[in-house]
Chains A and B, each alone.
Chain A
Amino acid sequence: MLRKRIIFTLIYEDGFFNQSRNFRLQKVGNIRWLEMNYHFQDIAFSLDEIVVLNASKGDKNLKDFASMLNRLVDNVFIPIAAGGGINSVADAEVLFENGADKIVLNSALYEKPNMVRDIVRHYGKQSVVGSVDYINQDVFIKNGVQKIDIPLDSYIKNLESMNVGEIYLNSIEQDGTGFGYDIDTIQRISSIIKMPLIVAGGAGNEKHLLEAISLENVDAVATANLFNFIGDGLPNARKYLIEKHCNLVQSV
C-alpha cells in the first residue's frame, strides 16, 4: 500500500536558508546552521522527502545553489527535489548532476511550456514536480510577485495535461502563519486532478500535518517552517502522526 509522505521544504536565498511568512523571507542561517540545528543526516529519517527551492532574486546563481545542494545531499538517503529559476534543460541537468532526484518547476510551467515538455520527455514525468503558488483563485509566478491570467483550477487541470509528475500546491496566504493548511482549496483541487498532490503553506504543528494528510486525495504534506520544527520537532511530528494511524513509513 502506497504510503503518504512528510516533506520538508528548504527555502534558499543567496547562501542562507529562510523562514518565509506570506512569501517575505527572513534569513535564518547558512548550511552550517542547518547542519548544527537540524542534523539533517539524522532528521532525514523522520522525513520522506526534502524539497529545496532557490528563491534568490535576480541572478539565481545556479552554481552556488548546485554546490549547496551537493553538500546537503551528502549522507541524506531520501529523495531530494530541487528547483527555483530553472530556465533551460541545461539548468535541470546541473541540478540532477548535483544531487537532485526530481526537479521543481514553477514560473517555467507558465512561461516555457516547451522547455517543460522537453524536460519531461528526457527525464520522465516522474522527475518533474509542478509547483503552484496561489491566493484564492489567483495564481502567482516569480516568487509570488506576478499574477497570471489563468484561474487556479484551470491552471492545475492544464498542468495535468502537460504531463508533470506531481503537483506542489502552495498557499501564499497561509504561508508562514502557522495557522494550518488551506484545507478548503486543497479538498477542491484534490478532487479535480488524478495525480500525486503535495500540499504546502501554513503548517505550524503536527496537528496541521495530521489534518491535511488525513484527506483522501492528499499524497504528501510539506512544511517550510524552519522555526517551528527545529530540534526534535520533526521526529516528534512523525511519531504523532503514526500514533494517529497515518499511513506513513514506520520503522526504518
Chain B
Amino acid sequence: MKVVIVDYGMGNVRSVASALKFLNVDSIISSEEKDLNKADKLILPGVGAFGSAMEMVKARGLDVALCEQVIQRKKPVLGICLGMQLLGVSSDEGGGTEGLGFVDGCVGIFNDEYVIIPHIGFNQVTPKSSSRLYRGMGHSLDFYFVHSHKMDSNSDIGQSYCDYNGNFVASFERDNIAGTQFHPELSKTNGLDVLKNFLELF
C-alpha cells in the first residue's frame, strides 16, 4: 500500500510518517501531483493557521490536485487537525477563509468565556456507532487534541463528537473522506488503531 503524506509546508509530517512506519506501511511526503496520482491513500496533516495553510495549499496547486484525487477519483483521504479543518467549507479564522469544501463543516473559534483555549491535552471522543475509524475500539476513547478552532456541521458527515463545553466535531467520515481533529499519531495506542482502521477500511 502506498500512502502519501501531503506536504504543503505546514504540519508535523515526521510523526505521521513514523506512525505509518510503525504500522508497516510505506509512505512518502510529497506535494507532487505525480506522487499523489500513484498513492493508494492520502493523509493531509496540518499545524498552524487556516489562512496560511490555504495559501500554501493553493500556491502548490494542491487544491486542484486534491480535488482531482479525492472528489473525482474517490481516493481515501484522512485530514488531521488543521488538515481535517481544511477539508471543510470555511473557517472564520482571519476574518473568513474558504477551505477545500470536500465536506460540509465550518470552522470557528472556541468560546473562551467558558473554557481555556487552546484545547490542549487528551480528551474523550464518543464514536458514532457505525464508524469505521473506531471500529473494534471502545465507547469513550482518549485522543490528543491541540487546537483553538473547532468544526461544527449541520449535516450528517459521519461525525463523532468530543465535549469541550459543548460538542464539537472530533472526527468525520463520509465515503472516502475522513478527518480527525485530534492527532492519531500522538495518541498512543488509540491513535495507532484509528490510523490502522483508516488504512484498512477506507
Contacts and interface: CB of A to CB of B under 8 A. Distances in A.
Chains A and B are bound partners: yes
Given A78-B144, A249-B142, A252-B188, A48 B121 contact: yes
Report the 3 A-B pairs with minimum CB-CB distance, sorted nearest first.
A126-B118, A3-B122, A252-B188
Nearest to B49: A124
Contacts of A219: 120-121
Given A77-B187, A101-B183, 12 more contacts: A1-B123, A2-B119, A4-B121, A73-B18, A75-B22, A77-B15, A77-B18, A78-B187, A99-B18, A101-B47, A123-B49, A165-B120
A101 B12 contact: yes
Contact of A5 (B15, B49, B121): B121
Contact of A73 (B14, B146, B164, B187): B14
Interface residues of A, number: 41
Interface in A167-222: 194-196, 219-220
A196 B116 contact: yes
Interface residues of B, number: 37
B189 to A, nearest CB: 4
Interface string B177-202: 00000010111111110000000000
B123 A252 contact: no
Interface in A230-252: 249-250, 252
Contacts of B48: 122-124, 127
A121 interface: yes
Interface in B18-55: 18-19, 22, 47-49, 52
Contacts of A249: 122, 142, 188
